[in-house]
Amino acid sequence: MKNQCLLVFLKLPVIGNVKTRLAEKIGNIQAVNLYKYFVSDILKMLENKTYSIIICYYPLNAEKEISQWIGTRYLLWPQKGDTLGSKMSNAFQQAFIKGFDQVLLMGTDSPDLPEAVIKNGFSALNNYDAVIGPTIDGGYYIIGFNTRGFCPHVFENISWSTEKVFQETLNIFKKNKINLHVLPEWRDIDIFEDLIEFVKSNIETSSKPTQTFTYLLSLQVMTGYLSKESAMDFKETIEQRRAVNFFDPEKNVSDELLRQVVEMASKTPSSYNLQPWSLMIIRDLEQKNKLQKLAWNQTKVSEAPVVFILLADRDAWKQGHPFLERNFQEMVKAGSMSEDMKEQFINSTKGLYGSSEDRQQAFACKNAGFFAMSLMLAAKSLGLDTHPMDGFDIDGVRQVFNIPENYWIPLLLPIGYFKADQTLAAPKWRKTFDEIVVKF
């Protein structure tokens, strides 16, 4: 095998340094977050590859911050030069000096680029001196050379950041009679219209949603561009949801994605809309290890990047409870009740849910169970996996995590991504329609 190297050009994700044209439409913070997901998806795609990967970063003095962001597994080179062209040319020259025979260079603006394109690029360099992959907007997303074909002139006198980049580069290749292979056209994301096209092209994909795509689902500015088919359709979600036993501890679940899961599940119906559920979100490894010991030492508790502790509030029906009071006021605002009906409302909730300890327990757990199922389906629709667990020491969890007595703990819910090197167990049997429907 040839000595192969992939140079990945990226920038430190700070406001004003990345995706500035997108920021005008989606906001500065959102643009920075989006860029981080671009990079995360690309690095995920490049995991465990046989060729060397070198991160070429900008600005020059950002090595510490880059390492803190993407980790220490990659060799880091600063981008040296006054223009984009000189930076790329210098990176290629440095790679060839280091002894690489085939070198590709790509940016981070195409988060859905398949790894097959990179494989094809290296393969083409066995028969061609250079390769290039054009973008839809007239630029290019990847370029590469072998040792005999490297030509620094292709980076000179180019109208960077215009629709002329690819054609001007192609002309230089032709002028220098370089044997060139052109890879398939791909989209990069620079402006809002690119985001819309990215969404449209990824809606029908059968693969797990990228972090970029999932983050876009949470952006208010994308409302109207994301159809109901953007996430998995409901039938697919139901059929693919599984209680997985193995989670990838290296693949994080972002705060934004967790928020979206919870907000989707918040639409769950509940008795009198009292919503007697709450969550504790456990990320800290030390806390997860404590929780694992209380759950018969099941390793999925510590391996999952996040564990939800589901809480069912047995007091949510009581007069004076903040959410009961809020719910009554909301009904008054909506015109379905009047202020003089409050005593009737309180007596009704007490009679239905508070007349005995058994009723209080049933009220809390039934409604929290609805919420738990919504959490699992919401998570699956966004590409996440879960495992509902009721095998744990409830009193121990209550004590270790200082949970008040009014809360019952129906289940623990590890959430994350299935570990790819494990085998997913075959689906278990389910009752048929005729077995479910009974008569007495």
Q: pLDDT tens digit string along 364-408?
A: 999 999 999 999 999 998 889 999 999 999 999 999 999 999 999
| Upstream peptide bond of 427 is cis (omega within 30 degrees of 0) | no
225 pLDDT higher than 70: no
Q: Is residue 438 part of a domain?
A: no
CATH number at residue 352: 3.40.109.10
pLDDT number for residue 253: 87
Structural domain harbouring 112:
4-188
Q: Is residue 61 part of a domain?
A: yes
CB 384 within 8 A of CB 245: no
Q: Is residue 73 part of a domain?
A: yes
Once rounded to an integer, what is the mean pLDDT over residues 319-336? 90
311 & 412 share domain: yes
Read out DSSP for 288-341?
A: HHHHHHTTTT-THHHHSSEEEEEEEETTTTSTT-HHHHHHHHHHHHHTSS-GGG
Rounded percentage of the chain residues whose pLDDT exceeds 90:
72
User: Is the whole model's pTM more than 0.75, yes or no?
Assistant: no
CATH number at residue 157: 3.90.550.10
Once rounded to an integer, what is the mean pLDDT over residues 177-182? 96
Structural domain total, the chain: 2
Give residue 229's pLDDT band: very low, low, confident or very high (50, 70, 90). very low
315 & 378 share domain: yes
176 & 251 share domain: no
pLDDT number for residue 1: 46
140 & 286 share domain: no
pLDDT number for residue 59: 95
50 & 141 share domain: yes
**Facing residues of 58 across strands?**
11
d(CA 285, CA 291): 10
Q: Is residue 19 part of a domain?
A: yes
243 & 387 share domain: yes
Q: pLDDT tens digit string along 297-320?
A: 999 999 999 999 999 999 999 999
pLDDT number for residue 421: 82
